[in-house]
């Protein structure tokens, strides 16, 4: 009995002549890769267990989750991988390359019948060229880099025949959304799926990538295509050598065979929350949008951007809509530039980012805010996956048309005038001034507390409250990051107590305008800060926030040590070390500072 495509590939990479579903076999891996997401953990596993690299020429790092290098945690992980790669002679597809799986295809490293494992859950996208691709965890990838092999359970195979002629206006994204609509998220769970049909044979590489990329959302192990002549020529050109076409045997046994009528497929949109919850685009027509996105490993290809350019040319993005475009690879980005597409995008009012995963990996443009409605070509629209908004999934054509219209529309129904949003305010306006200006309890002008004495100059706002936490808007969360970048005081937030008073030296709060560097102390219940001097912006921020700060040039005379009890008088400026019975005179609150302090803030 013959073998299916997945069985053929796995047998060719094992010591077995024939494999069957359920068999567990060791398979040789042609490409072992780790992304910036998870790559540092792979390195840690290799170093902790003192493993060597089996074959450096087959081992890679791909930095696609945060290709801008804008997130400091990602930047640290990326540098860990770079240093490891240098020491071990490994190639890094760095932040200027784009999505790793796409780069592997472009570089000719993946082709018909090859095997790949990476930390990318969408590694099964490589089924587009008839290759075995699987996402695996950090330990698996470390083992693969060390041994050159991994164990794998041979999955059952399913054949899907797409019969009939492909209707006009049906894009690859509509096909895969149609498959999701038919099969849902789990009816093909764990299966290797092979797609066949006359129209399937005509699908381009870019179209196959779109369909294969959403195997994960269907629950499949992989969606595999048998390469046609054009794709084999592409792979051979990229590889630089003649390749063997690997395909299923004619007498291969499939667990299930499905026959679907392609002629009944229609343009579709996946509703927010579940990629498999799809409806015809006409049923979601008219839904207002705030943003639109083209990209991800599903639809960041050259053909996708040509579709978008044809729709956008000579038109403008609707007012109030942000249109974000992210090519899958730098090669595609440069081709868009060469063909003049970038100019079309910019003239229409779109934003073009450098190549990478974008919003799907939360490391680039494509995130959404509270209440934001996005239409996207991505593969996932799970709640909070790309922010706090709601995400609809659609083809590049529907996304581009909707960006122009300001609401979801098919590409042949773009209105002459864009949809106009009716903005309503959620603010509650007080009927009378009495409801705003109520009588406030007078705040204490003298405070006492345990002292934190930090005899340092130039403690800047990064040391106080690092910029990696600036996205936090809930003041109650800010306190736990106080001083976490100040050497020797990283545990301050965990051991400080409400009522404590901080005493420092010169130029406290230098370097930044962030208000969080004041609010973090308020959250912890710190009563006041005393310093020899303050940065001008920090001083204003503290005063306007009604957070007590006192200037005192004679702090050293107090002979403070951590744990002393001190008293601070805001009205007179007197500061007393109660433990040692020493007092000095600092600057008293100005009339303005005292008024704002008693008012509870500038407002």
CA atoms in the 13 A half-sphere facing the CB of 344: 19
What is the structure's pLDDT at 135?
Answer: 87
- What integer pLDDT is reported at residue 423 of this predicted model? 52
Q: Which residue has the higher pLDDT, 374 or 70?
A: 374
Assess if residue 28 is contained within a domain.
yes
Measured CA to CA, the distance from residue 267 to residue 394 in angstroms comes to: 8
End residue of a domain, out of 413, 437, 466: 413
- Look at residue 468 and tell me if it is in a domain: yes
Looking at residue 439, what is its pLDDT?
52
CA–chain centroid gap for 597, Å, is 41
Q: Quick one: 212 and 337 in the same domain?
A: no
CB proximity list for 502: less than 8 A, separation 6 or greater:
451, 452, 454, 521, 526, 528, 529, 530
User: Could you tell me what percent of the chain has a pLDDT over 70?
Assistant: 95
- Mapped onto helix, strand or coil, the DSSP state of residue 156 is coil
According to the model, what pLDDT value does residue 363 have? 62
Split into its structural domains, the chain has a count of 3
**Separation of alpha carbons 267 and 174, rounded Å:** 5
Is residue 40 domain-shared with residue 128, that is, in the same domain? yes
The 3-state DSSP class for residue 483 equals: coil
**pLDDT for residue 387:** 74
* Whether residues 257 and 346 fall in one domain: no
Of 170-184, 354-368, 407-421, 461-475, the one with minimum mean pLDDT is 354-368
Mean pLDDT of the chain: 91
Q: What pLDDT digit, counting tens, does each position of 557-592 carry?
A: 999 999 999 999 999 999 999 999 999 999 999 988
C-alpha dist (Å) from residue 475 to 389, 468, 478, 515: 22, 15, 5, 10
Residue holding tokens 């540098």?
A: 79
Which pLDDT score, from 0 to 100, does residue 361 have? 63
pLDDT tens by residue, 97-154: 999 999 999 999 999 999 999 988 889 999 999 999 998 888 889 999 999 999 999 9
| Whole-number Å distance between alpha carbons of 109 and 204 | 19
Among residues 413, 437, 468, which one ends one of the domains? 413
| Reported confidence tier of residue 431, pLDDT bands at 50, 70, 90 | very low
Say which residues have a Cβ less than 8 Å from residue 590's Cβ, sequence separation at least 6: none
> Mean pLDDT across the stretch 79-99?
94
Q: Do 176 and 299 share a domain, yes or no?
A: no
Q: Per-residue pLDDT tens for 339-386?
A: 999 999 999 999 999 988 877 766 667 677 888 999 999 888 877 777
pLDDT of res. 466:
87
What is the structure's pLDDT at 454? 96
Same domain, residue pair 390 and 506: no
Checking if the pLDDT of 82 tops 50, the result is: yes
**Region 28-43 average pLDDT:** 91
Tokens of 456: 């340092």
Question: Cα–Cα distance between 116 and 35 in angstroms, integer?
Answer: 13
CATH (domain of 55): 3.30.499.10
> Does 111 lie in the same domain as 181?
yes
Q: Is the pLDDT of residue 462 over 50?
A: yes
Residue 235 included in any domain: yes
206 with 302, same domain? Answer: no
Last residue of a domain, one of 413, 433, 467: 413
Same-domain pairing of 96 and 191: yes
Is 421 domain-assigned? no
- CATH value at residue 453: 3.20.19.10
pTM of full prediction above 0.75: yes
The pLDDT of 212-225, averaged and rounded, is 92
Is the pLDDT confidence value at 195 over 90? Answer: yes
Residue corresponding to tokens 């409250």: 465
Residue numbers of the domain that contains 26: 5-264
């Amino acid at each position: 009995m013959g073998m299916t495509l997945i069985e053929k590939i796995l047998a060719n990479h094992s010591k077995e002549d024939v494999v069957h579903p359920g068999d567990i076999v060791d398979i040789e891996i042609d490409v072992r890769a780790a992304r910036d997401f998870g790559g540092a953990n792979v390195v840690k596993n290799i170093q902790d267990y003192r493993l060597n690299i089996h074959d450096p020429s087959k081992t890679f790092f791909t930095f696609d989750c945060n290709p801008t290098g804008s997130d400091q945690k990602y930047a640290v992980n990326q540098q860990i991988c770079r240093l490891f790669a240098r020491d071990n002679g490994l190639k890094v597809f760095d932040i200027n390359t784009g999505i790793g799986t796409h780069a592997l295809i472009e570089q000719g490293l993946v082709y018909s019948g090859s095997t790949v494992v990476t930390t990318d859950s969408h590694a099964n996208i490589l089924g587009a060229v008839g290759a075995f691709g699987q996402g695996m965890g950090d330990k698996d990838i470390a083992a693969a880099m060390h041994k050159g092999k991994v164990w794998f359970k041979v999955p059952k195979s399913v054949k899907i025949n797409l019969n009939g002629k492909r209707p006009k206006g049906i894009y690859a994204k509509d096909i895969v959304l149609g498959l999701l609509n038919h099969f849902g998220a789990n009816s093909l769970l764990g299966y290797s799926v092979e797609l066949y049909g006359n129209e399937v044979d005509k699908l381009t590489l870019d179209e196959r990538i779109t369909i294969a990329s959403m195997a994960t959302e269907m629950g499949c192990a992989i969606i595999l295509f048998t390469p046609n002549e054009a794709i084999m020529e592409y792979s051979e050109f990229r590889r630089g050598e003649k390749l063997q076409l690997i395909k299923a045997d004619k007498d291969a046994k499939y667990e299930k065979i499905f026959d679907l009528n392609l002629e009944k497929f229609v343009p579709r949109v996946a509703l927010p929350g579940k990629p498999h919850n799809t409806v015809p685009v006409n049923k979601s027509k008219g839904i207002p949008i705030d943003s639109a996105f083209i990209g991800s490993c599903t639809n960041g290809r050259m053909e996708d951007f040509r579709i978008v350019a044809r729709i956008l040319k000579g038109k403008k993005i609707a007012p109030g809509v942000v249109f974000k475009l992210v090519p899958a690879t730098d090669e595609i980005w440069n081709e868009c530039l060469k063909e003049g597409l970038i100019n079309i995008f910019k003239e229409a009012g779109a934003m073009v980012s450098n190549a990478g995963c974008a919003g799907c990996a939360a490391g680039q443009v494509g995130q959404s805010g509270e209440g934001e409605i996005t239409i996207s070509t991505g593969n996932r629209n799970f709640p909070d996956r790309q922010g706090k908004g709601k995400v609809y999934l659609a083809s590049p054509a529907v996304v581009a048309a909707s960006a122009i219209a300001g609401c979801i529309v098919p590409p042949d129904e773009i209105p002459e005038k864009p949809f106009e949003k009716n903005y309503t305010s959620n603010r509650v306006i007080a009927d009378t001034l009495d409801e705003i200006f109520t009588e406030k309890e007078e705040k204490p002008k003298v405070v006492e507390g345990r002292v934190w004495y930090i005899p340092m100059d130039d403690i800047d706002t990064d040391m106080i409250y690092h910029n990696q936490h600036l996205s936090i808007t809930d003041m109650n969360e800010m306190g736990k990051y106080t001083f976490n970048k100040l050497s020797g005081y990283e545990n301050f937030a965990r051991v400080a107590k409400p009522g404590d008073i901080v005493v420092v030296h010169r130029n406290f709060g230098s370097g930044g305008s962030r208000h969080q560097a004041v609010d973090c102390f308020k959250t912890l219940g710190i009563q006041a800060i005393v310093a020899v001097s303050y940065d001008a912006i920090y001083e204003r921020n503290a005063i306007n926030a009604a957070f007590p700060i006192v200037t005192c040039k004679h702090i050293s005379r107090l002979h403070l040590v951590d744990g002393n009890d001190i008293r601070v008088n805001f009205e007179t400026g007197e500061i007393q070390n109660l433990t040692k019975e020493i007092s000095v005179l600092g600057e008293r609150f100005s009339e303005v500072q005292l008024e704002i302090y008693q008012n509870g803030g500038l407002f």
